[in-house]
Amino acid sequence: MPNSKGAPTRAANSTVGNGGETHQTASTPDTRLTTNHGTPLSDNQNSLKAGGRGPTLLEDFILREKIQHFDHERIPERIVHARGSAAHGVFELTKSLSKYTRAKVLTEVGEQTEVFVRFSTVAGGAGSVDTPRDVRGFATKFYTKEGNWDLVGNNIPVFFIQDAIKFPDLVHAVKMEADRAYPQAASAHDTFWDFVGLMPETTHMIMWAMSDRTIPRSLRMMEGFGVNTFRLLNDKDEATFVKFHWRPKLGTQSTCWDEAVKIAGADPDYHRRDLFEAIESGNFPEWEFGVQLLSQAEADALPFDILDATKVIPEELVPIQIVGRMVLNRNPDNFFAETEQAAFLPTNMPPGIDVSEDPLLQGRLFSYQDTQLSRLGTVNFHQIPINQPKGCPFQNLQRDGHMQMLVPKGRANYEPNSLAEVGEVGGPREDPKGGFRSAPVAFDGPKVRLRAETFADHYSHARMFFHSLTAVEQAHLASALVFELSKCSFEHVRNRVMGNLQNVDADLAARVANGLNMPLPPANPAAAPPQDMAPSPPLRLVGKYPDTLMGRAVAILVTDGADGAIVEAVRSAVVAEGASVKIVAPKVGGVTLKGGKALPADGQLAGMPSVLFDAVALVVSAEGCAQLLGESAATDFVADAFVHLKAIGHTPEAQPLLDKAAVQPDAGVVDLTGDAKSFVAPASTRQWDREPKVRMLA
Ligand code: HDD
């Protein structure tokens, strides 16, 4: 019926909207839109109304279903590690550990096991940026033939606290402050450092958290660690302690702090995009998988407790054996269905892998299973495709519950039963030989709430870590502490942290005090006096892996009139080393090169700042350069590349821009007119020698 304002302008059953929009229609059952219950839709543009301009009818079940589903699209984000990016891949065992374990995933050399890996930041919400200073989660789900194995680790081998009972306090302290709900994704605030100062056991982890490890360049360039000590169990149930390690084939690389901050604005999805694009382009990230193995006697001989997750086992004491490799080769098809719904559980272990008594791990054994109930809403979350075992069947007598997807047959929902004797389905049974068995560890003693004496030393490992770093990394660490403590408003909070630092290294504490321009407080009382341990060079980043351009990104900034031969020479030189190249131009339509050829651009200057690249080349004409001098994005592009210690290749015509950006000549500033290959070596690393010229470090 037409209403008082006039007749509807279109027929109620038309699939064309009023505004002249074009809509694609379907006529076959396999391509047409339906409701959730299969009713085909004739119109997805208009709700059902009482007349063309009248109110929408409650009768419109199609509208209601669509809106209701939308209203409930979100599920609670993870309480920690909410922001994450993931990929599918394969794990391949290269060396058998059959002497130590009966887990097939670690004994069958050459066996390919499907994996799903989710990387994450810890503190920020699901929509937060990718590059805050934060620990990164590195969680791997191996779909083994004997059930899922979830190695839920981080990119740092130790943890803040020793006992799971402190985890809620730690997380409350680091997350947004309770009354003001800021800062998001940042540890640089009072409540975090208040907790840290009062909990000396956090000191070792704080050294790592303030190191360049927490501002990684790429998820593909991070080491990973299982953190907790686990056990391997062989056929005879003999136990060996094990620590798990991931080593990136691309080596490690970090950003500068100032760079990380600017990336957060330039591309909040920097890491997510980097991982996705690398896999999409066939540059599959790869890691070596390593183990540190030690017997009970070897563990007992160490001067620290391997059940204490705030301690690292230096490689010099127990070498890392490489036993496998992992390649990530497929992006998720759907972020929500896979990355968001993935439930990692430290309790997921195949027979032959077992936990230790690490009190942090013991608490984790409850928490992850439990949290899925509020996140995924049902005890049947293991039936969601990403969480289902893929390498083997899963079957038991657990039944029903919300969102039960399985349709078990027969009457046998209890065990023992004798139904098979009368020809009915009897159901699955336990397997004493092949099934999961716990390490037969003997315990005796009274129930107590205490921290073992062997957990009392909170400083020796922090000291060892600091002394293992290069001078560059030490300066970054000290500067990060200054930055974070400068963001705290309470003087007593800063003082208490500095008192802890005094126990780590007097020079470090003095540098931080100097950076804050505060008097250095005395050392806080230590539960156990710190010991000097031998430095462990593999704990450092700088110089640990060979310099490389593999997997890195290079920007070539071009203008009209640029020399196309130089552009191509730079491009082929860096691509030959495994880097990708993006052409950046003042306008996204590209430039006209000297000689008249058009060069399309991958991005416009303002949207592709140099912080998004590992090295930059400025291939500009004299006129083009003159125009860039009036564009602050161009000056920032060059100045940032310089202060972020990146190689800058340039044509001589770029000199005025280099001057305006205050670029001083050094080994990383390369004239490209000779051999463009001379750009490769400086582009494969950061120019650490330049740093004192561009920033005051603590
Ligand atoms: Fe945890 C998530 C790593 C201690 C409780 N944790 C979570 C994730 C990673 C870690 C990588 C994200 C997994 C994913 O991508 O979905 N957590 C660690 C490491 C720890 C650690 C390396 C120290 C060795 N965690 C820890 C403790 C507790 C938790 C002590 C609680 C007692 N962690 C959780 C959680 C989360 C979680 C609340 C949030 C979402 C989830 O589990 O599934 O249960």
Q: Which CATH number goes with the domain that contains 592? A: 3.40.50.880
Q: What is the mean pLDDT of residues 399-405?
A: 97
| 535 shares a domain with 557 | no
| 622 shares a domain with 559 | yes
Count of helices and strands (H, E) across the chain: 18, 18
Flag whether 568 is in a domain: yes
Encoded amino acid at 304, one letter: F
Mutation to probe ligand 1, out of 75, 77, 79, 81 (largest number of atoms < 8 A from CB): 81
- Residue 292 reports pLDDT greater than 80: yes
Residue with tokens 């161009």: 634
pLDDT at 674: 85
- Residue 111 reports pLDDT greater than 50: yes
Measure the CA–CA gap between 161 and 475, rounded to whole angstroms. 25
Range of the domain at 577: 553-694
List own/partner pairs for 668-673 with CB under 8 A and 24 or more apart: 669/642, 672/566, 672/569, 672/570, 672/617, 672/619, 673/566
pLDDT at 12: 42
Flag whether 616 is in a domain: yes
| 565 shares a domain with 659 | yes
Q: Which helix (H) or strand (E) holds 636?
A: helix 632-643
| 638 shares a domain with 510 | no
| 631 shares a domain with 518 | no
pLDDT at 5: 47
Estimate to the nearest angstrom the gap between the alpha carbon of 475 and the chain centroid.
Answer: 25
Estimate to the nearest angstrom the gap between the alpha carbon of 431 and the chain centroid.
Answer: 37
Distance from residue 107's CA to the centre of ligand 1 (Å): 27
| 382 shares a domain with 286 | yes
| 515 shares a domain with 569 | no
Q: What is the rounded average pLDDT for all residues in the chain?
A: 96
With the C-alpha atoms ordered 393, 394, 397, 403, is the resulting torsion angle positive or negative?
Answer: negative
pLDDT tens digits for 96-107? 999 999 999 999
- Residue 475 reports pLDDT greater than 60: yes
492 carries an active-site annotation? no
Residue with tokens 């790429």: 218
Instruction: Identify the band that residue 19 occupies on the pLDDT scale cut at 50, 70 and 90.
Output: low
Q: What is the mean pLDDT of residues 422-451?
A: 96
- Residue 419 reports pLDDT greater than 80: yes
Instruction: Identify the band that residue 14 occupies on the pLDDT scale cut at 50, 70 and 90.
Output: very low
| 557 shares a domain with 533 | no
Helix, strand and coil percent figures for the chain, each rounded to 5? 35, 15, 50
243 lines ligand 1 (CB under 6 A): no
- Residue 13 reports pLDDT greater than 60: no
| 604 shares a domain with 514 | no
- Residue 391 reports pLDDT greater than 60: yes
Flag whether 426 is in a domain: no
pLDDT at 22: 74
Q: What is the mean pLDDT of residues 258-272?
A: 98
Name residues whose C-beta falls within 8 Å of residue 293's C-beta, 6 or more positions apart in sequence. Answer: 97, 100, 232, 240, 241, 242, 318, 321
How buried is residue 46: exposed, middle or buried, by Cβ count under 10 Å (0-12/13-18/19+)? middle
Q: What is the mean pLDDT of residues 640-648?
A: 98
- Residue 16 reports pLDDT greater than 90: no
Measure the CA–CA gap between 563 and 676, rounded to whole angstroms. 13
Instruction: Identify the band that residue 24 occupies on the pLDDT scale cut at 50, 70 and 90.
Output: confident
pLDDT at 29: 86
Report the nearest atom of ligand 1 relative to the CA of 86. 15
- Residue 6 reports pLDDT greater than 70: no
Measure the CA–CA gap between 257 and 213, rounded to whole angstroms. 11
| 463 shares a domain with 318 | no
Domain boundary among 387, 420, 440: 387
- Tell me the CATH number at 318: 2.40.180.10
CB-CB contact of 529 with 460 (8 Å): no
| 273 shares a domain with 349 | yes
Ordered DSSP codes for 642-660: HHTT-EEEE-GGGHHHHHH
Domain boundary among 512, 539, 566: 539
- Of 88, 148, 154, 331, catalytic: 154
Measure the CA–CA gap between 34 and 46, rounded to whole angstroms. 15
Strand 136-144 and strand 112-121: the pairing is: antiparallel
Q: What is the number of domains present in the chain?
A: 3
The closest of 407, 384, 403 to 395, measured between CA atoms, is: 407
Distance from residue 324's CA to the centre of ligand 1 (Å): 24
Flag whether 396 is in a domain: no
Strand 603-604 and strand 84-93: the pairing is: unpaired
Strand 136-144 and strand 147-154: the pairing is: antiparallel
The closest of 307, 10, 367, 14 to 170, measured between CA atoms, is: 367
Distance from residue 230's CA to the centre of ligand 1 (Å): 16
- Residue 506 reports pLDDT greater than 90: yes
pLDDT at 2: 41
Residue with tokens 């049902």: 378
Report residue 506 as tokens: 């007097």
Encoded amino acid at 213, one letter: R
Domain boundary among 539, 566, 600: 539
SS3 558: strand
Report the nearest atom of ligand 1 relative to the CA of 370. 44
Beta bridge mates, 616:
555, 648
